[in-house]
Amino acid sequence: MTWQGRRDGQLTVGGIPVERLAARIGSTPFFAYDRDLVTRRVAALRAALPAGIQLSYAVKANPMPALLQHLSGLVDGFDVASAQEMRHALDTPTHAGRISFAGPGKTVEELSQAIAAGVTVELESETELARARAISAATGVPARIALRVNPDFTVRGSGMRLGGGPRQFGIDAERVPKVLAGLGDDVDFQGFHVFAGSQNLRADDICEAQRRTVDLILELADLSPPVRYVNLGGGFGIPYSRRDSPLDLEPIGDNLARLMRERVVPRLPGARVVIELGRYLVGEAGVYITRVVDRKESRGTTFVVVDGGLHHQLAASGNFGQVIRRNYPMAVANRLGEAPDEPVNVVGCLCTPLDLLGDRVELPRVEIGDLIALFQAGAYGLTASPTGFLSHPAPVEVLV
């Protein structure tokens, strides 16, 4: 894990020991995101990828406005999936032309706002294209569009597949030629978007997906107006358990450099080529801090009860689409480095057995009042959790 920061036996976030951070915030639980870790992550990625590749941040991974402000100075664009995400992205210095709006079921209201703002609308269906054209006709603003293509291949190794086979995402590749033939100059055609899968830790599989995506887009480019934008998707994963190894960026960078040099640049000179990432940019930069409220024994098992739970960090309970429940990495944040003492079950404060944050975790002896840190909480954390369930107050989020 990237969380190396510690001082006097305490975890630090942005250089601040967690007890001090808890005192400054005035309450637990909270999410803390480390600004410097995000900066370093983007820098490492830039160093590995060829210069011609632009980076777009997928806002749904973590839409905290302060984080978006920070990222706007680091990445080239934002990918949004709702009108609210779009407003937050437009509130940063990032130019509207560098913002793309993907996702099925965009409403007429969302489409109208995106078209008026000059955001690139990534169309998910033929009927959505018809709606965008109607809005252009009514408002006099040509819609800036890209076609999201549902590829005719699937990506191996993805934690979540979003392309290949029947999908609610994108227009099936075999239907795209007909759609292209029907385009007129009432729309400002930019290019293509393919997003085939998420949370992939296997570099080879990502490379293969990128090769096939480039093949597909170049084939379609023969039939389309000039292509100015190519969105190759992303899906770079992060490790969530000791069994996971971090993604090896080097082969991905080499593969993209070759694809750019040999295929994309000669065929589509001047096109903006984008990789869009959410989890990989912010996931490891966030930690969820909870305080131990109770400790009890029940028939041979020790339960450590914390003041947070799955209502804030659903993914750590294994209920966010995971097939197999595995413990997220965690630590007693105010006593780092102490030897493990006993296996305990770390549970949240909700009245459901689903609220299990750590199943037989080896931790130093945990006492009431200790702080438990759950790592890898920077992406798909708070906003991917059922905060209304049991009506506890929302946790604070800080960028430090």
Ligand X SMILES: *Cc1c(COP(=O)(O)O)cnc(C)c1O
Residues near ligand X (CB under 6 A): 58, 60-61, 79, 81, 102, 195, 198-199, 234-235, 276-280, 379
Closest CB 309 distance from ligand X, rounded Å? 23
Closest CB 72 distance from ligand X, rounded Å? 17
Q: Which helix (H) or strand (E) is 296 found in, with range?
A: strand 286-298
Detail the DSSP E strand segments found in 9-138.
Answer: 10-13, 16-17, 30-33, 53-58, 77-80, 99-101, 120-123
Closest CB 335 distance from ligand X, rounded Å? 32
Closest CB 122 distance from ligand X, rounded Å? 7
- Provide the token pair at 322: 């995971």
Query: DSSP 3-state assignment of 275?
Result: strand
Chain centroid, CA 94 distance in Å: 18
- Residue carrying structure tokens 């973590």: 62
Closest CB 163 distance from ligand X, rounded Å? 10
C-alpha atoms less than 13 angstroms from C-alpha of 312 in its C-beta half-sphere: 27
Q: Which residue among 51, 323, 324, 351 is the active-site one?
A: 351
Nearer Cβ to ligand X (198/327): 198
Q: Which amino acid is at 91?
A: D
Instruction: Give the span between the Cα atoms of 32 and 336, in whole angstroms.
Output: 17
SS (H, E, C) 328-388: CCEEECCCCCCCCCEEEEEECCCCCCCCEEEEEEEECCCCCCCEEEECCCCCCCHHHCCCC
C-alpha atoms less than 13 angstroms from C-alpha of 201 in its C-beta half-sphere: 9
Closest CB 138 distance from ligand X, rounded Å? 27
Residues forming a β-bridge with 12: 17
Instruction: Give the span between the Cα atoms of 267 and 226, in whole angstroms.
Output: 11
351 is catalytic: yes
Nearer Cβ to ligand X (21/176): 176
Nearer Cβ to ligand X (129/372): 129
Nearer Cβ to ligand X (10/199): 199
Residues 6+ apart with CB under 8 A from 144: 97, 115, 118, 119, 120, 121, 187, 188, 190
Nearer Cβ to ligand X (189/236): 236
Residues annotated as part of the active site? 351
